[in-house]
Structure 1
Amino acid sequence: RNINGAGVNVGVVDTGINNQFEYAPRLLAGYDFVLKKAINANTDSDFNGHGSHVSGIIGAGVNNCIISKTNNCSKDVAGVAPGANLIPIRVLGSNGSGSFADVAAGINWSTFGTTTIQPLNTTIAKPKTDIVNISLGATSDGGTLQQSLTNGVRNGQLFAIAAGNNGGATPISPANYAGTLNNTSNTGAIIAVGAVTCTSNAASSCSIASYSNRAGSITATNTPYWFLVAPGTNILSTYDGSATATATLSGTSMATPVVAGAAALLKQYWNLNGQKIAQILLTTATDIGAPGVDDIYGQGLLNLSAALQPVYVTATGPRILRSTQAGGGTQVTTLSTATTTQSSIAVSSAYKTALSSANLSVAAVDDFGRDYSYNLSSLYTTTNSKNYYLEQMFSSMDKNVATKQIVTEGSKLTFTQIEPKQNYFDDENLGIKNSTNKSNTQLASMSLNTQLSDSQAMTYGINSNTNNFFGFANTPFENAGFIVNKTFDNPYLGFNGSQNFAGFSSKINNEWNIATGVVNSFNPLTKYQSNNDPYQTSTTTLPKQNITSGFLELSKQTDDNKFAVSFGSTMEKAGLLGGSTDPLFGITDKSNTMFVSLKNAKNIGGDTWIAGSYNQGLTLKNGQQDSLVSSSSNLISQSWSLGLIQSNVLSKEDRFGIAFNQPLVVKSGSLNLSVPTGLDYDSGEMQYENRKISIAPTAIERNVEANYYLPTSPVSGLSLTGVYRMNPDNNDSNPSQKVVAVRWQSLF
C-alpha cells in the first residue's frame, strides 16, 4: 500500500500552522496555549511562520504547485509524509517566544486531549497525537517538561526534539531529555535531532552544520545514543502569509520535522509505538563521522530507505509466523541471511519447478515485528544443478575403475575404494580446483551376496546399489555406469540417496524368484545445501532425512532375459519424494509412498543388451501441523528409462551404453497451504489465507546419456561420458544442458 503517512496524527508544538496550503483538509483541530483557546480544524493559527515551515517539511503534499502554479511542480514544496494529519499546538507567540509551562501543557494536550496536567503513569487507549514535533528549546526548563514527556512516551508517542542552534557540544532542553528519560522505562521514544549541511544526496557529503548543537560526550551522557542528524540547511518549505508563501530556512528546527515525517511513515504502515519507531530510526541511521556512536553525530544520519526495509539485530533473518492448527497460537521459523539465497528449502526436483511457478509469497516479520512480503521461490534448492551432474559424472567414472568384485563359491563381494571426495569444480565459474590434499583410499561402498542354499540367498549393502541383488542383478545393467539420477535405479528406494539395505530371496522354481528387501538411506539434498560450496557436508543446517523402504519383488530370469516386478512402500520423515525441508515447509511428519516398479532386460544378440524400467508411486494424502502446508492431496509420480549396453565393442572388456530417461516427476497432486498474509495491527495477530497449489510441473525433463569405458589395465581405465538434459528440473524455461567429460584414473 501507499506509504505517505495517511491517518497518522502529527502534533506540531510551535507557533501554529497556516491553513492556506493544500494540506488544509488534513489540518485537524488543535489548541492555542498562548491565547488559551481551541483551534478549529482548517483554521489559520500561525502569525509567525516558523510552525508553518516545520509543518510543510512534515506533511506538505506532493506536486502541490505552491510556487509554480503550473503542471510542472517538481521543484515545489513536498513534505516527508505528504498524507499525514497535522495538529497545531500553539505554545509560541507571534514573536516566536513562549513559556515552558505552555510547552508542558501542549505536550500534555497532545497525549490526553486536555489542558489539565495528568498524574504520572496515567495511560489511555490512544493518544491525541502519534508523533510530536518540538522545534524549540532553551538552556534549561527546570524540570517543567519531565512529567508531560514521561506520560507521552508511556502512552506510545514518539517525540522528535530539536537539539538547538547554539553550535554547542550538547543539546539544549527539552532535547536533552533524550539522554535522561530514555534511561528509565521510557527508553528510546525521545529523539534529539541535530542538523547537517549536505552538498549532494550522498551521505558522505553531509557534515554537522556550524550552528547545530552536537550529540554530547558518550562518556558523560547517554544523549548520543538517542541522537540523530538530518538535513537542516537551506530547507524550502511553506510559510505564513498567503497560499503561496514559502521560505528557505536553516536550523535544527528544520531537521527535526524530517525525522518526525519519517516516523509518521513508519507509524502509518506498521502502527508501531513510539519506542519501536525510535529504535528503528536509530538502528538504521547511516554512520557518519567517527565510527559508531560518537560525540557529534550520535547514531548518525537519518536513513529513511533503510528504516523502511526489514531490520535484523538479534535474529539472523526474516521470521515467518506459522499457524498452529492444533490448539491455536503460532510457531516461528527464522530464515538465515548469511547467504545470498537466504535459507534453503530443499525440495525434490519432482515438484520444485511447480512450487517456483506458484510464486508463493508469505508475510515475514523483522526484529521489530513489522511484516513484509517475502517470496519463497528463491529458497527452493535441489541437487540437480550443473555442478551436481559434473560431480556425479566423475564419481561414476571413478567407480568404473574402482569398483571390484570378488566371487567365491556361494558369495559375491562388490566394493569400491576411492579417495575421499574432492570438489572438482568451483561453483561460481566451473573452474578446476587444484587440491594438494593427499589422502589414503577408503571404502566407499560395499555389498555382499551370500548363497544360503541352492534356493535361498541373502544380501547386505552399505552405501551401495540394490541392483547388485534385486532388479537388474546378474545383467549388464547391474552396474551400468549411467549417472543421470541413477538412471536404472528404483527412485523410490531412497530417492537416489546412498542405500543401506538387506534382503532375502528364495527360488520358486528354476526361473522364478521371490525376494524381499529393506532399504534405509539419507537424502542427498542434505549434503548439497551450501550456496558457496554445494558439495560440502559439514556445514549443512538442514535435517538429515531418514528414508526407509520395504518391498517385495517377483522376478524371472533366463540366460538372455530378466523380468522383475516389485511392490513396496517408502516412508519419509519430514519430507516428500526426496525433499528434505525445515519446519517452515515441512510437508509432513511422515509421508508414505506406495510404489510399483517394472524392469526388463533382454539380450538381443552377442554382447548387446537392451533394458527398460518403469516406476510409479502413490503418495498418500498427508499434512503437517505448525507448517505452511496444512495438507496435500494424493500425489502420483513416475519415472522411466530405456537403454542399451554393448560389451567388447572396440576392445576386450570395454563397454558402450546409451540411455533415455525421464527422472521422477509428480504427474498429479496439490498442496493446501495456510499462508501468512500480514498483521492485523489492531489485534497484533498474523492473518492467514488458504491457498491450493498444484505441484505437477507443466514441462517434463528428458535426458539422453551415452558412456564408454575402456579398461587400460587391471587397475586403470578410461571413461567418456556425455549427457544432454532437456527441460532441466522439469522447467521449460531452463536452457538445455550439455555435458561431456573424459576421465582416466589408475589405482596405486
Structure 2
Amino acid sequence: MRRSDGPAFHNATIAWQQGVSGQGATIAIIDSGIDIDSPEFAERILPESADVAGSRTINGIDDHGTNVALVAAAALNNEGVVGMAYDARLLVLRADEPGSCTGGGANDADLDGCQFLDSDIARGIDVAIAANARVINLSLGGGTPTAQLSNAIARATQAGIVVVVAAGNDGDTSDPALDPDNPDPFAIAALQRGNGAVIIVGSVDDKGEFSDFSNRAGSYATGFLSARGERICCAYENGEIQVTQEGGQSFVTLFSGTSFATPQVAGAVALLAQAFPNLTGQEIVEILLDTARDAGATGTDAVYGRGILDLAGAFSPQGTTRLPGGSADSPSALALTDDIAIASAPMGDAMRGASLQSIVLDKYDRAYTYDLGAQTRRASPETLMANATRAGLRNVTVGGPGIGIAFSLDQRGQLEGETPLTPLRLSRAESDAARVLAARVALRISPKTQLGFAFAEGPDGIAVQLQGQDRPAFLLSSGAAGKLGFAHRDGQSVALRQQTGDLGITLTASRGEALTWAVRQAQGIVGNQREGYGFTRFGIAGDRQFGPLGLTLGTEWLREERTMLGAYLHKSLATRGADSVFVDGSASLDLGDGWRAGGEGRFGSTRAVTGDRIAGGSRFASVAYSVDLSKRGVWQDTDRLGLRISSPLRVISGGLNFDLPVSYDYATESAVYELRRVSLAPDGRELMGELSWFGQAFDGMLAASLFYRSEPDHIRNAPDDGGLLVRWSRGF
C-alpha cells in the first residue's frame, strides 16, 4: 500500500473501509495487452478478453497496458502495489497493431512505437458493450477519431458505460502543430460524442501540482478531471516489482503520463458502480466531476478542469438528503444537520443517547446509513427565575361588581421572540384584585353563571378564578393540576362556569402554541425566535365544597398539531401531532386560624397520531403532583407563608414506535423497514421544595422564596439547584 500512488492520494481508502473494492464491476482496458502471468490480476481477467487487432493472445509485448491495469486494479495481496479497485474484473482488449510495439512501455513516450487503428479500438469498445463493462479505459491519444470510433463511443455511453480517456502528453511540447493548452483531438472528440458519460483525465504529481507534460483542460474544463499520473510506482518484471542495483543501492522504476492518471479515474468509477449499482454512467461522471478537490484557480479552471479526483467527496451524500418514501403530506427531505427530535421538559433526558439507525438517500438515490438518534436532544430548560424576576410590567385593572377587566403594559421594550403580553398569575395573597387580573375579563351572566375570557393566558387560571378557589402563591413552583408541563405560549382562552346546587361545572377551551425553545438554523430558522406549533385544549371540571374541604375533579383533552406533549419531531418523520387526555384532581382543607393544606395531581395519557413513520403503539403516560401547607396572617394581617413540595409533569412510561428504513434494495429501488422503539421516560426525576413569604414592606409588596431542586428538568445526576429570591414591587 505504501508504494501505491493513487488510492491514498485520492481517498480510495474511504470506499475500502466501507467494504467497496470494485467487486463485480468490470473495467475494460483497450491497450497493448497485459502480463497474464502477473499475480496482481489472478482469476480476474475475464474470458471475453481478446486481441481485437489480430489473432494473438492478450499477453502484450509492451508493458504499457500492464501498468495501466496495475493502477486501476492491482490486487490487495500484501505484495507489490494495490490498484484503486483491487477486486474489479478486467476485460483486456489488446488493440496494438501486430508488430508495431517494440517492448518496454514504462512511460507514455514508450507507447509511441505502438500503433492503434480506430477500427480496432471501435471493435474493442463493442466487445466491452457486449460484456457489460461499467467503464472503458482509453489511455490512448492522437488525432481526431474516425466516425466509426466516435459512433462506438456514443454507443458505449448510451449503454451506460463510462469512458475515461487520457488528455495527452503535449504539455511541454514546442511543436507548433500541437496545442498543449487543450486536450488532444482524440480526447476532445470522445467528450463531444460521449452523451455526458466521458471524462478527460490530466495528470498531477504527489503534491497536487499539475504535471508539466500533461495537456491542460483549456476549453473543455467542464469535462476534465485531474488525477495522479506522475512518478507512479512501479514497473514489474516476472510478476514482481522490478528492482535494479546501482552503486550498492536498490532502485525501482517509476512511470509517468496521463495514461496512468486515467486508470485512477477508471478505478474510481468501478468503486462507485459497485457501491451504488443504481447510478447511470452520466450520474457517475457528474458525481466525480462535482466532488473533485478544487485546485488551481478557484472553481473550474483551464488547467485542472473541475479539480483533482476525490473519492471522499464522491462517496459523500450529494444534494438534499431524505428518508426513502414519503408523500406530499409527509415531506421526506432531511438535512444531516437537522434536529431530528427535541424532547420536551416532561421527557427530561429520555432522548439522550437514543439510537435510531436508519438510512437516508441523496439526490442520486444512493443509500447511506444514518443514526437519527445522533440528532436528538432535550429542550433547553427554562430559566427558573426568569419570569419571577422580570421588571418593567405595569398591570392595569378596571371593573365593577359584575365585570372585571385586566391587562398589562410592557414598558421594557419587546424582546425578540417574546410575546408582548405576559400572563398574569392568579394569587389570592396578592389581593382580591389579583383574581380579576388573572381572569382578564370576568362576567357574571346570572347569579349561577359566570363567563371568563383571557388573552395570553391559559384556561386553568380563569377556571380557578371563576371557581373562587383559594390557592397559595409561590414565586417559582406551581401546582400540578391544569399545567401542560412544557414550554408554550398561550393564546386565547375562555371558561364558562355553571353552579348547580352544591356542584359547580366549569367548561374551558383555549388555543396556544408549543415552543421548541431552540435556535435551529439548519432548518432555515435564524435568530432567537422560538418556533410555535399550534394546540387546542378542551376541559370540563366539577368542584364541590364539603365544609372546610374543597374538591375538584376534571379532565382535559389536548390536541397538538405537530408536537407530542411539547416534543418536536422533524417533518420527515411525518408526525401528525398527538392527542392527550389528562385527569386532574385537587383538594384543599381549611385547618383554621389561617392554616391551609392542599394537594394537586395530574395524570396524562398521550397517543401520537400514526403516520408514515410513526407506528401504532406510540403511547406514553405522564404524572405531576404538588402538596403544600400555608399560613395566612403570620406577621401581618394579609401576609402569607407557604411550603410546597412538587414534581413537574414527567413521562413515567411508554414511548414512540418509529417505522424506519434500515436497508435499501437497489434492484427494486425500495427500502426495507423495521420498527425502532424509543422510550420517552427519563432517568431523572425532579423534586422541588419552595418556602415562600408574601407581605407588605416599604409601601410596596415584598416576596421572598427559598427553593431547592434535585435532578432539575428530570435530568439524572444533574447538579442540584437552589437559591434565594427576593422581589419588591410597588404599584403606581
TM above 0.5, yes or no, is yes
Compute the displacement of 1:50 (Å): 1.5
Compute the displacement of 1:528 (Å): 3.6
Give 3-state SS (helix, strand or coil) of 2:463's partner: coil
CA distance in 2, matches of 1:440, 1:7: 62
Compute the displacement of 1:161 (Å): 1.2
CA distances 1:465-508 after superposition (whole Å, capped 9, x unpaired): 3343324865564764336xx55452359975415221111233
- Whether 2:406 is the aligned partner of 1:411: answer no
- Whether 2:202 is the aligned partner of 1:208: answer no
CA contact (8 A) 1:494 1:520 kept: no
CA contact (8 A) 2:330 2:573 kept: no
Write the mapping of 1:32-43 to structure 2, written as runs, cut at 5 A.
32-33=50-51, 36-37=54-55
Compute the displacement of 1:22 (Å): 3.8
2:65 pairs with 34, 38, 51, which one?
51
Which residue of the partner structure matches residue 164 of structure 1? 168
CA distance in 2, matches of 1:698, 1:161: 61
Which residue of the partner structure matches residue 127 of structure 2? 109
CA distances 1:344-368 after superposition (whole Å, capped 9, x unpaired): 5444344474455441122111122
Compute the displacement of 1:574 (Å): 3.3
Which residue of the partner structure matches residue 24 of structure 2? 7
| Aligned residue identity for 1:153 | T
CA distance in 2, matches of 1:288, 1:404: 68
Compute the displacement of 1:298 (Å): 0.8
CA distance in 2, matches of 1:57, 1:180: 26
Alpha-carbon spacing, 1:440–1:21, altered in 2? closer, same or farther (3 Å): closer
CA contact (8 A) 1:344 1:529 kept: no
1:319 pairs with 319, 322, 333, which one?
322
CA contact (8 A) 2:349 2:716 kept: no
Give 3-state SS (helix, strand or coil) of 1:45's partner: coil
CA distance in 1, matches of 2:72, 2:728: 73
**RMSD of aligned residue pairs (Cα, Å):** 3.8
Write the mapping of 1:544-563 to structure 2, written as runs, cut at 5 A.
544-557=532-545, 562-563=550-551
CA distance in 2, matches of 1:441, 1:31: 78
- Whether 2:347 is the aligned partner of 1:342: answer no
CA contact (8 A) 1:503 1:517 kept: yes
Which residue of the partner structure matches residue 469 of structure 1? 462
| Aligned residue identity for 1:263 | V
Compute the displacement of 1:635 (Å): 3.2
Compute the displacement of 1:615 (Å): 0.8
Alpha-carbon spacing, 1:380–1:643, altered in 2? closer, same or farther (3 Å): farther
- Whether 2:563 is the aligned partner of 1:575: answer yes
CA distance in 2, matches of 1:696, 1:211: 67
CA contact (8 A) 2:563 2:569 kept: yes
1:726 pairs with 702, 707, 711, which one?
711
1:229 pairs with 226, 229, 239, which one?
226
Which residue of the partner structure matches residue 194 of structure 1? 202
Give 3-state SS (helix, strand or coil) of 1:416's partner: strand
Compute the displacement of 1:720 (Å): 6.4
- Normalising by structure 2, report the TM-score: 0.80
- Whether 2:604 is the aligned partner of 1:596: answer no
CA distances 1:265-307 after superposition (whole Å, capped 9, x unpaired): 1111111221111111111111111112111111111111111
Give 3-state SS (helix, strand or coil) of 1:191's partner: strand
Write the mapping of 1:620-699 to structure 2, written as runs, cut at 5 A.
620=607, 622-624=609-611, 627-644=612-629, 659-699=644-684
CA contact (8 A) 2:72 2:86 kept: yes
Compute the displacement of 1:560 (Å): 6.3
- Whether 2:492 is the aligned partner of 1:500: answer yes
Compute the displacement of 1:112 (Å): 1.8
Compute the displacement of 1:731 (Å): 4.6
Which residue of the partner structure matches residue 64 of structure 1? 78
CA contact (8 A) 1:145 1:174 kept: no
Alpha-carbon spacing, 1:295–1:180, altered in 2? closer, same or farther (3 Å): same
Compute the displacement of 1:404 (Å): 6.0
| Aligned residue identity for 1:181 | R
Between 360-369 and 531-540, report the one with greater CA deviation: 531-540
Compute the displacement of 1:374 (Å): 2.0
Which residue of the partner structure matches residue 181 of structure 1? 193
Alpha-carbon spacing, 1:621–1:227, altered in 2? closer, same or farther (3 Å): closer
Larger radius of gyration: 2
Alpha-carbon spacing, 1:480–1:103, altered in 2? closer, same or farther (3 Å): same
CA distance in 1, matches of 2:725, 2:263: 66
Which residue of the partner structure matches residue 513 of structure 2? 522
Compute the displacement of 1:193 (Å): 0.6
Between 143-152 and 154-163, report the one with greater CA deviation: 143-152
Alpha-carbon spacing, 1:63–1:57, altered in 2? closer, same or farther (3 Å): same
Alpha-carbon spacing, 1:747–1:147, altered in 2? closer, same or farther (3 Å): farther
CA distance in 2, matches of 1:207, 1:653: 85
Give 3-state SS (helix, strand or coil) of 2:129's partner: helix
| Aligned residue identity for 2:61 | F
1:16 pairs with 28, 33, 56, which one?
33
CA contact (8 A) 2:480 2:649 kept: no
| Aligned residue identity for 1:361 | Q
- Whether 2:388 is the aligned partner of 1:396: answer yes
CA distance in 2, matches of 1:443, 1:619: 28
| Aligned residue identity for 1:175 | A
Give 3-state SS (helix, strand or coil) of 1:311's partner: coil
Give 3-state SS (helix, strand or coil) of 1:277's partner: helix
Give 3-state SS (helix, strand or coil) of 1:469's partner: helix
2:268 pairs with 254, 257, 262, which one?
262
CA distance in 2, matches of 1:345, 1:37: 66
Give 3-state SS (helix, strand or coil) of 1:289's partner: coil
Alpha-carbon spacing, 1:680–1:533, altered in 2? closer, same or farther (3 Å): closer
CA contact (8 A) 2:339 2:570 kept: no
CA distance in 1, matches of 2:718, 2:422: 37
CA contact (8 A) 1:171 1:213 kept: yes
CA distance in 1, matches of 2:371, 2:522: 21
Alpha-carbon spacing, 1:561–1:404, altered in 2? closer, same or farther (3 Å): farther
- Whether 2:154 is the aligned partner of 1:150: answer yes
| Aligned residue identity for 1:521 | G
- Whether 2:100 is the aligned partner of 1:100: answer no
- Whether 2:370 is the aligned partner of 1:374: answer yes
1:249 pairs with 255, 261, 264, which one?
255
CA distance in 1, matches of 2:49, 2:419: 86
| Aligned residue identity for 1:264 | A
Give 3-state SS (helix, strand or coil) of 1:631's partner: coil
CA contact (8 A) 2:480 2:602 kept: no
CA distance in 2, matches of 1:353, 1:306: 35
CA contact (8 A) 1:417 1:444 kept: no
Alpha-carbon spacing, 1:393–1:403, altered in 2? closer, same or farther (3 Å): farther
Give 3-state SS (helix, strand or coil) of 2:390's partner: helix
Between 164-173 and 598-607, report the one with greater CA deviation: 598-607
Give 3-state SS (helix, strand or coil) of 1:671's partner: strand
Which residue of the partner structure matches residue 130 of structure 1? 134
| Aligned residue identity for 1:87 | L
CA distance in 2, matches of 1:643, 1:710: 18
Compute the displacement of 1:679 (Å): 2.4
CA distance in 2, matches of 1:737, 1:286: 51
Alpha-carbon spacing, 1:440–1:507, altered in 2? closer, same or farther (3 Å): closer
- Whether 2:304 is the aligned partner of 1:297: answer yes
CA contact (8 A) 1:460 1:502 kept: yes
CA distance in 1, matches of 2:364, 2:676: 27
CA distances 1:366-403 after superposition (whole Å, capped 9, x unpaired): 12211112222243355x414xx22x632333279655
Give 3-state SS (helix, strand or coil) of 1:682's partner: coil
CA distance in 1, matches of 2:492, 2:332: 32
